[in-house]
Chains A and B, each alone.
Chain A
Amino acid sequence: MTDLLYMSWRYVAYHWMKSVILVAAIALIVFIPAGLRVLVHQGEIQLRARAQATPLLLGSRDSPLELALNALYFSADRPETMDFSATSDITASGLADAIPVYVRFRSQGDPIVGTTIDYFPFRGLELAAGRQMATLGECVVGAAVAADRGLAPGDHVISSPATFFDLAGVYPLKMRVAGVLASSDSPDDHAIFVDLKTAWIIEGLGHGHQDLAQAGAGAEILRRDGSNIVGNAAVREYQEITPDNIGSFHFHRDMATLPITAVIAVPPDRKSRTLLLGRYQSDQRRQLLSPIEVVDTLLATVFSVENVVVAALAAVGFATLALVVLVFMLSLRLRRGEIATMSRIGGSRARIASILGMEMAGVLVMALVTAGVLTLATGQLAPEVVRMVLSR
C-alpha cells in the first residue's frame, strides 16, 4: 500500500501543475454548490432568528422588505421615515410596548441606531463594560465595533457626514462611549446605539451653539428683535456634547414630529397582536407587519434563485467532470509506455492498475478535502458575510 501511495504521489507531484488544475476544478465543482448551500442556510438561520425575535414592526407604508432589513439588520437602505408620534400611538393603544428605532447615520460604516434604553432588555443585550447611555451625546457600542476599533468606555466615536459635499448639511458629531455591549452574535454587535435625541442632533434637527444673550456675543449677532436674537453664520455650533455645553442643545420642532424609521411593537399576547394588526390594516400612511412573514417571503425568493443557480452549477459541474474524465483518459493514454514497461518487468496487473487508480483517487481525495475545508471555512465566515450583505 505504501509503495502504491508513493508511486501515485510521485506522479502527482511531478505533474504538479496538471494535478493542481484538476484538484482545483473538482474542488470548485463540489465547493460552489456546497458553499452556496451553507451560506444560504446560515443566512436563513440569521434572518429567521432575528425576525422571529421581533414580533411586529411599524413603519411608513413603503417597501416591507426595506423596513424589515433596516429595522432588524440596520441595512443602509433607508425606508421612508414617519413621525415619532407613531411610538406614542402604539403605547396609547395599550396593545403593545413600543420601541422606536431610527437608523440613518453611520460611523466609519457602522450603523448608528437611535433608540431608547428599552431596546436593550428587549434584545437581551447586556453590558460588558461601562454603563448605559444616560445623557445626550453618549453612545453604547456593540462588541464587534469595540473590538474592531479598540473602543472602551470614555473613548469617542464620530458620526460620518451624510455627504462630503453638502457643506450646509449634516456635520459630524463626536460622541462619548458610555458602555460596551457583550457579544450577542447578532447585528447589534456591529451597531452604535444612541438615544433618539442624539440621533436627531446628528441630523441637525437639534443643536447647541454659543449663547448670543451673553455679554461676549456681538459680532455673531445679525439683528435683535426684542427678546429674539438672530445670529449670523459666525455663530459657533457645537460638534461635541459636553457637560459645559449640554444645556445649550435644543430642538426647534415638536419632538412628536421628529423622524424615526420604525417602531418595534411588542404585544403581550396573541389577541393584542391581532387587534393591533387590524388597527393598522387600513392606515394609508403606515404599515404594521410581521417581520417573520417578510423574511419568509424573502427566503422563498432566495431558495428559488438558489435552485436555479444550483441547477446551472450542476450543468457546469457535469461539463467539468466530463473534461476531468477526458484528462484522466488522456493521462492513461500518455502513460501507456510506462504501463507496458511495468508489465514487461513483471509488475502485477493489480498493482499497476492500483498505481493508476490511486493517482485518480488521490486527486479526487485532495479535491474533496479542499472542497471540505473551503465549505467549513465558508460555514465559519458565513455569519459575517451574511451580516455584511444584510447591512449594506
Chain B
Amino acid sequence: MTPPSQTQQSDAMIRITGLRFRYRGSDFRLHVPDLEIDRGASVAFTGPSGSGKTTLVNLIAGICTPGDGRITVDGVDVHALGDSARRRFRIRNLGLVFQEFELIEYLDVLDNILLPYRIASELKLDPSIRRRAVELADTVAIGDKLRRFVRRLSHGERQRVALCRALLTRPGLVLADEPTGNLDPANKLHVLDLLFDCAREAGATLVVITHDHDLLHRFDRVVDFRQFHDTPEASPA
C-alpha cells in the first residue's frame, strides 16, 4: 500500500504542479504551473538573478514551504511530510551542493565529507561509509588532503569536498546551486565533469543552477526561469 504522502512510482523524479511561492514582506513571486524532471536526467536551471532558481531548489528540497501547489520527489509529496520527516527524506535522498560550499571550518576534509552521517541518527557511519568517502575524495583528487582543514584548501578543492559530501549518501537527486560559480574556466569544466560522472555513475538525477550559457549544451534539458516569473496581479489573493 502506498503511504498517503507517496504517489505511484513513475519516470518523473520531480513533479511540480500549480506551485506558488512568495517570501513574506517581499514582492518576489514564483509560479511554476507544471514542471517534470525525468529520473536520471541532467537539467540546468537558468535565468536572471532573482528569478527564483535557488528558491525552487529549496522548495524541491523541502527547505522552504510553498504557499500553494504540490511537489513530489521520487514519488514523495515532500510538503505533506512534517519537518522531521522532511529532514530525514532530504538527508537520505538528496545531495545538496551549495553556492558557498558551506563546509564546516572546524572539521577536516574527511569529516566534512562524512558530515551527513554525523548529524542524522538514521544514517549509520561504518567502515564501508568511510571507505566510500575516501574513494570519492580520491576520485576528485583530494585524497591526499583528507586531514587538512578546509580553510587550507583552494576554492576548487573546497568545491570538490562539497561535491563529495553531497554524493556520499548515494542520493537519487543531486541539487547543485551554481557549483561552478567563481571558478576559473579549467576548474569549471573539471568540476562539472566530476558532477556529471558521479551522478551518472550513481544513476542520480542532476539539477544544476547556472548562469553560464557556455555550459548549457551539456545538459539534457534547460529550464529557463523567466517563464516562472509571476506578477502580483496574476497571483491569487
Interface contact A351-B119, CB-CB below 8 Å: yes
Asked if A346 meets B90 with Cβ closer than 8 Å, knowing A3-B125, A7-B118, A352-B119, the reply is yes
Q: Which residues on the A side are within 8 Å of B44 (C-beta)?
A: none
Residue A49 is within 8 A (CB to CB) of chain B in the complex = no
Whole-angstrom distance between the alpha carbons of A51 and B209 in the complex?
Answer: 85
Interface contact A345-B116, CB-CB below 8 Å: yes
List the A residue with the shortest CB-CB distance to B88: A346
Interface contact B116-A351, CB-CB below 8 Å: no
Contact of A347 among B106, B111, B120 (CB under 8 A): B120
Whole-angstrom distance between the alpha carbons of A178 and B17 in the complex?
Answer: 105
Interface contact A345-B118, CB-CB below 8 Å: no
Q: Which residues on the B side are within 8 Å of A342 (C-beta)?
A: 115, 119
Interface contact B107-A345, CB-CB below 8 Å: no
> Chain B nearest CB: distance from A166 CB in Å?
67
Q: Which residues on the B side are within 8 Å of A15 (C-beta)?
A: 106
List the B residue with the shortest CB-CB distance to A341: B102
> Chain B nearest CB: distance from A333 CB in Å?
15
Q: Scan A45-78; emit 1 where CB is below 8 A from any B CB, else 0.
A: 0000000000000000000000000000000000
> Chain B nearest CB: distance from A388 CB in Å?
45
Residue A11 is within 8 A (CB to CB) of chain B in the complex = yes
Contact stretch, chosen from B7-15, B65-73, B91-99, B226-234: B91-99
Interface contact A6-B118, CB-CB below 8 Å: yes
Interface contact A344-B96, CB-CB below 8 Å: yes
Asked if A345 meets B115 with Cβ closer than 8 Å, knowing A11-B106, A14-B106, the reply is yes
Residue A10 is within 8 A (CB to CB) of chain B in the complex = yes
Interface contact B98-A344, CB-CB below 8 Å: yes
Residue A337 is within 8 A (CB to CB) of chain B in the complex = yes
> Chain B nearest CB: distance from A295 CB in Å?
55
Number of interface residues of B (CB under 8 A): 29
Q: Which residues on the A side are within 8 Å of B90 (C-beta)?
A: 344-346
Asked if A10 meets B91 with Cβ closer than 8 Å, knowing A344-B63, A351-B120, A351-B121, the reply is no
Interface contact B118-A344, CB-CB below 8 Å: no
> Chain B nearest CB: distance from A329 CB in Å?
19
Contact of A341 among B61, B98, B106 (CB under 8 A): B98
List the B residue with the shortest CB-CB distance to A347: B119
> Chain B nearest CB: distance from A326 CB in Å?
21
Residue A348 is within 8 A (CB to CB) of chain B in the complex = yes
Residue A355 is within 8 A (CB to CB) of chain B in the complex = yes
Contact of B116 among A10, A343, A346, A355 (CB under 8 A): A346
Contact of A348 among B92, B107, B111, B120 (CB under 8 A): B120
Residue B184 is within 8 A (CB to CB) of chain A in the complex = no
Q: Which residues on the B side are within 8 Å of A236 (C-beta)?
A: none
Q: Which residues on the A side are within 8 Å of B92 (C-beta)?
A: 346
Q: Scan A112-128; emit 1 where CB is below 8 A from any B CB, else 0.
A: 00000000000000000
Residue A279 is within 8 A (CB to CB) of chain B in the complex = no
List the A residue with the shortest CB-CB distance to B93: A346
Q: Which residues on the A side are within 8 Å of B94 (C-beta)?
A: 346
Residue B87 is within 8 A (CB to CB) of chain A in the complex = yes
List the A residue with the shortest CB-CB distance to B100: A337
Whole-angstrom distance between the alpha carbons of A343 and B102 in the complex?
Answer: 12
Q: Scan A316-356; emit 1 where CB is below 8 A from any B CB, else 0.
A: 00000000000000000000011011111111110110010
Asked if A348 meets B87 with Cβ closer than 8 Å, knowing A14-B106, A341-B98, the reply is yes
Interface contact B87-A347, CB-CB below 8 Å: yes
Interface contact A3-B104, CB-CB below 8 Å: no
Whole-angstrom distance between the alpha carbons of A152 and B73 in the complex?
Answer: 89
Q: Which residues on the B side are within 8 Å of A6 (C-beta)?
A: 118
Contact of B104 among A13, A338, A344, A349 (CB under 8 A): A338
Interface contact A343-B105, CB-CB below 8 Å: no
Residue B2 is within 8 A (CB to CB) of chain A in the complex = no
Residue B225 is within 8 A (CB to CB) of chain A in the complex = no
Whole-angstrom distance between the alpha carbons of A340 and B103 in the complex?
Answer: 11
Interface contact B102-A337, CB-CB below 8 Å: yes
List the B residue with the shortest CB-CB distance to A4: B118
Q: Which residues on the B side are within 8 Å of A338 (C-beta)?
A: 104-105
Whole-angstrom distance between the alpha carbons of A14 and B125 in the complex?
Answer: 22
> Chain B nearest CB: distance from A157 CB in Å?
60
Interface contact A348-B61, CB-CB below 8 Å: no
Interchain residue pairs A-B with the least CB separation, the first 6: A346-B91, A347-B119, A14-B106, A346-B90, A341-B102, A3-B118
Taking beta carbons and an 8 Å cutoff, which residues of A are in contact with B? Answer: 3-4, 6-7, 10-11, 13-15, 337-338, 340-349, 351-352, 355
**Given known contacts A344-B96, A345-B91, A348-B84, what 5 new A-B pairs fall within 8 Å (CB)?**
A6-B118, A13-B106, A345-B165, A346-B119, A347-B91
Taking beta carbons and an 8 Å cutoff, which residues of B are in contact with A? Answer: 61, 63, 83-84, 87-92, 94, 96, 98, 102, 104-107, 111, 115-121, 125, 149, 165
Q: 17 A-B residue contacts at CB 8 Å?
A: A3-B125, A6-B118, A7-B118, A14-B105, A338-B104, A338-B105, A343-B87, A345-B90, A345-B91, A345-B115, A345-B165, A346-B87, A346-B90, A348-B84, A351-B119, A351-B120, A351-B121
